[in-house]
Structure 1
Amino acid sequence: MQILKADLTRFDAIPDYPFAENWRDIDLGEGFSGRMHYLDEGPKDGPPLLLFHGEPSWSFLYRKMIPVLVEAGFRCFAPDLIGFGKSDKPDDIAFYTYDKHVSWLKQWRDAIVPETAALFCQDWGGLLGLRMVGEEPSRFACVVASNTFLPTGGTPSPAFLAWREFAKSSPEFQIGELLQRATATERTEAEVAAYEAPFPDEPSKAGARAFPALVPVEDGMDGIAQNIAAWKGLSSFDKPFLTLFGEDDPVTGGLAEPLIKRIQGAKDMPHGMLSTCGHFCQEDRPVELAQGVIDTTQKAGFLA
């Protein structure tokens, strides 16, 4: 297996992404190491806000939210998960596991943002972030979750099964076009190219192809026991927990209800289903999502 380094020249023409690069070395396991790229934007003394992306995106997804959040006073941290964005990419699909992704992200968080932080998470950003909240709830001031969940087996939907099979076997796995199809508003040609930038060839897409098959949506899958354990802490999380989901997402659009019903901090919060909003809600409704974060952190007393 090789650990691929991003060709940073492919990111030179990225629109609306004027953010400085930051890097952290990560122990990938099995004798391998790699660099995780992340954004660190906003006042250094501002309340820390973690912005976790999912599949198959990267921190570019947060380019519209970050300026609004920085203006509100946050210090925004947005990592590129291993296998995505500017971060290093193991080229073996079998190397990626749910637990490894949790470990890699925890390493980054422990080193870069050890203090209590607010969290916004979407897609796999929630499968990782909500697991982390459940395991260490005292380290989170509040949570805003969008188009995500923390699965513990069951029966997957036909739409998810189709997506999982497509990611595994489709000979044409065009990341930019996937983002285009999963938003309710039109992406520009430059934006589509920005989502393609991290993936110049098939080996670089190993992490993106691997992710759907790692979602523990069927009984017996790896990750179920860990998520069941995490749900104990997540259910009793009594700090503000808000869901803002895109109603045009056929895969995760209906998954807000279990979070609302099961998490103590979600009670009496102004949860919302956003119209004209697909799976990648940060593209379709960034201002509304940012305002939800601001309101939730103010309710938590984390943002003045």
Structure 2
Amino acid sequence: MEILRTPDAAFAGIDDFPFEPHYLDIVDARTGQPLRIHYIDEGPREGRIVLMMHGEPSWSYLYRHMIGPLAAAGYRVLAPDLIGFGKSDKPAAKSDYTYARHVGWMRQWIEALELGGITLACQDWGSLIGLRLVAAMPERFAGVVLSNGGLPEGGPAPRAFAIWRAFSQWSPFFPIGKIIAKGTKRGLSDAEIAAYDAPFPDARYKAGARIFPSLVPFAGNLAVPDQREAWKVFETWDKPFLCAFSDGDPITRGGESRFIGRVPGTAGQPHRTLSGGHFIQEDDPQGFVGAILEIARQGDTK
């Protein structure tokens, strides 16, 4: 497996992400090769943990407006870059990436850091991977805040997603920063677009970003049985589970209906609608922080 690592110089021009980088090496179970995961770790070490997981094709920069307020509220905030994204290592071939492999990589990271009592905040692929982690080790998680994501278990792909999936596979151009900008309502500055482009100096680094849409387990995907097993956990999950989807995401809008009522922990929670597009962290970071605090504080009282 060829592994690429974005040079630190690629991130030198980013001036609105003032967080110290942290790194942890894990080992790929299939090849035995080491892989470096980058993560942000802010707030008091003794604070209860808020784990914020990004999706496709972003990186921990997505949470830059949310990390500070949560840390200031007394929480230890961790925001990792998935393998293939941000400052984490990037296997060079699309075939190097599978859904199960991503779950395994991040499980190693959680276990190595000995994390527990976690409030998970997740969106997009951060939810597909994050929710599978909750199902795999429920004892390490205290609550979930889900926005603009889900845990698909087969069925047809929504039309908007099918178009995105085809674009990711066949378009000769894949401009990461502009793709993220199109998924926001407020728009992004040139500097912000450049920050999202920074992890990908050229096309060789984009294998993970290119393949992710094709890994979403709609009908016929080999991950569907694993998803159904994960759902068995959530159908008995009685810890706090709050949905905070946005009002302007054509792909996931209304996705809370798949969780509210089916997951016991959704009962009595103040589910809410946030204002913005798919990348709600850019459009309504305050609203997302408020949802996270709602669940994290329930853990504080136990």
Deviations 1:101-132 (A, max 9, x none): 00000011111143221110110000011111
Is the Cα contact below 8 Å between 2:50 and 2:296 reproduced in 1?
no
Cα distance in 1, alignment partners of residues 115 and 42 from structure 2: 17
Q: How many residues align?
A: 301
**1:95, distance to aligned residue in structure 2 (A):** 1.1
Say which SS state the counterpart of residue 82 (structure 2) adopts: coil
TM-score by length of 1: 0.96
Cα distance in 2, alignment partners of residues 256 and 15 from structure 1: 35
Amino acid at match of 1:166: F
1:160: which partner in 2? 161
Amino acid at match of 1:118: T
The 5 A counterparts of 1:1-304 are 1-28=1-28, 29-218=30-219, 220-275=220-275, 277-301=276-300
Is the Cα contact below 8 Å between 2:119 and 2:295 reproduced in 1?
no
Cα distance in 1, alignment partners of residues 273 and 43 from structure 2: 29
TM-score by length of 2: 0.97
Say which SS state the counterpart of residue 106 (structure 2) adopts: helix
Say which SS state the counterpart of residue 143 (structure 1) adopts: strand
Cα distance in 1, alignment partners of residues 135 and 8 from structure 2: 35
Cα distance in 2, alignment partners of residues 248 and 235 from structure 1: 28
Is the Cα contact below 8 Å between 2:26 and 2:109 reproduced in 1?
yes
Cα distance in 2, alignment partners of residues 254 and 33 from structure 1: 40
Is the Cα contact below 8 Å between 1:246 and 1:281 reproduced in 2?
yes
Cα distance in 2, alignment partners of residues 72 and 127 from structure 1: 27
Is the Cα contact below 8 Å between 1:136 and 1:233 reproduced in 2?
no
Amino acid at match of 2:8: L
Cα distance in 2, alignment partners of residues 134 and 66 from structure 1: 25
Say which SS state the counterpart of residue 64 (structure 1) adopts: helix
**1:265, distance to aligned residue in structure 2 (A):** 0.5
| Higher alpha-carbon deviation: 106-115 or 243-252 | 106-115
Say which SS state the counterpart of residue 50 (structure 1) adopts: strand
Amino acid at match of 2:292: V
Is the Cα contact below 8 Å between 1:57 and 1:85 reproduced in 2?
yes
**1:23, distance to aligned residue in structure 2 (A):** 0.6
Is the Cα contact below 8 Å between 2:54 and 2:123 reproduced in 1?
yes
- Residues 238 and 274 of structure 1: CA distance in aligned 2, closer, same or farther (over 3 Å): same
Deviations 1:131-180 (A, max 9, x none): 11122222111110000000110111111111111011111100000010
Say which SS state the counterpart of residue 246 (structure 1) adopts: coil
Cα distance in 2, alignment partners of residues 131 and 265 from structure 1: 16
- Residues 217 and 302 of structure 1: CA distance in aligned 2, closer, same or farther (over 3 Å): farther
- Residues 300 and 202 of structure 1: CA distance in aligned 2, closer, same or farther (over 3 Å): same
Is the Cα contact below 8 Å between 1:141 and 1:302 reproduced in 2?
no
Any unmatched runs of 5+ in structure 2? Answer: none
Say which SS state the counterpart of residue 274 (structure 1) adopts: coil
- Residues 199 and 52 of structure 1: CA distance in aligned 2, closer, same or farther (over 3 Å): same
Deviations 1:211-249 (A, max 9, x none): 00000011x312111110111111211111111111111
Cα distance in 1, alignment partners of residues 143 and 8 from structure 2: 34
Amino acid at match of 1:39: I
Cα distance in 1, alignment partners of residues 91 and 136 from structure 2: 27
Is the Cα contact below 8 Å between 1:239 and 1:265 reproduced in 2?
yes
Say which SS state the counterpart of residue 272 (structure 1) adopts: coil
Cα distance in 2, alignment partners of residues 12 and 133 from structure 1: 35
